[in-house]
Amino acid sequence: QKEVEQNSGPLSVPEGAIASLNCTYSDRGSQSFFWYRQYSGKSPELIMSIYSNGDKEDGRFTAQLNKASQYVSLLIRDSQPSDSATYLCAVPYLPGAQKLVFGQGTRLTINP
Amino acid sequence: SQTIHQWPATLVQPVGSPLSLECTVEGTSNPNLYWYRQAAGRGLQLLFYSVGIGQISSEVPQNLSASRPQDRQFILSSKKLLLSDSGFYLCAWNSGQNTEAFFGQGTRLTVV
């Protein structure tokens, strides 16, 4: 099993709809989880961090964490064409949680 | 505030030539440092990470090496480049365990 897995997509969502992105991880002891957005040809930028079970909201973005099921998701409400990008999930791995591992990313396209 | 510098932005090198990519971080001390490679349309592959001067963990055995001669300097090297070394190389830093990472602008390397 890969350390961090994402559906590579592409995921196509109409403008104004909710985009749902999912990520699973293999290390049950992982404590922090990050979502990054990467535009084509650019470096990834952090958009959300989540550490506790449940939901964390920031503007149009909501991160959801379920440690028992070992998955973390990202919801984007009122999707805009500017949200079209690749979204990467990242998890620090034990022991030491110094090794930051990324999933392969999900390419999201918002259709006007 | 902390900043990360990575250069050059683009590089075209012939097969068999050496490589040296440099990354420096400002505004923090004792950061964790990372080198990732991203092939076209793919996720981030962790190549090396370092938790301190002279401490390098290698994730993927290949013809690349990394060094950390100073606290905030991380260098990626190769003695002889292969065609398969082409890709987008990203340097990143974070402040410790379970913390989010921040990326440099990346270096797009094409081996010809």
Residue B14 to residue B34: CA distance in whole angstroms: 25
> Residues near A87 by Cβ (< 8 Å), separated by ≥ 6?
A6, A21, A35, A36, A37, A38, A74, A105, A106, A108
State the pLDDT at residue A45: 97
Q: Are B3 and B25 in contact (CB under 8 A)?
A: yes
Low-confidence ranges of chain B (pLDDT < 70): 61
Contacts of A91 in chain B (CB under 8 A): none
Three-state DSSP state, A48: strand
Q: What is the pLDDT of residues B25-54, one digit of tens each?
A: 999 999 999 999 998 878 899 999 999 999
> How close does chain A come to B17, measured CA to CA in Å?
25
State the pLDDT at residue B51: 93
State the pLDDT at residue B52: 93
State the pLDDT at residue B70: 95
Burial tier of A49 (Cβ tally within 10 Å: 0-12, 13-18, 19+): middle
On whether any CB of chain B is under 8 Å from the CB of A93, the answer is no
For the residues of B36-92, what is the DSSP string, one character each? EEE-TT--EEEEEEEEETTEEEESS-SSEEEEEEETTEEEEEESS--GGG-EEEEEE
Whether the pLDDT of residue A95 is over 70: the answer is yes
> Is the CB of B32 less than 8 angstroms away from the CB of A45?
no
Residue A99 to residue B72: CA distance in whole angstroms: 18
> Is the CB of B99 less than 8 angstroms away from the CB of A32?
yes
Which residues 25-84 of B are in CB contact (within 8 Å) with A?
A: 32, 34, 36, 42-44, 46, 49, 51, 57, 59
CA geometry: angle A103, A33, A37, nearest 5 deg: 55
> Residues near B46 by Cβ (< 8 Å), separated by ≥ 6?
A99, A100, A101, A102, B34, B35, B36, B59, B60
State the pLDDT at residue B40: 83
Q: Are B34 and B100 in contact (CB under 8 A)?
A: no
Length of chain A: 112
Percent of residues, chain B, with pLDDT higher than 70:
99
State the pLDDT at residue A97: 76
Q: What is the pLDDT of residues A8-67, one digit of tens each?
A: 889 999 999 999 999 999 988 899 999 999 999 999 999 999 999 999 999 999 999 999
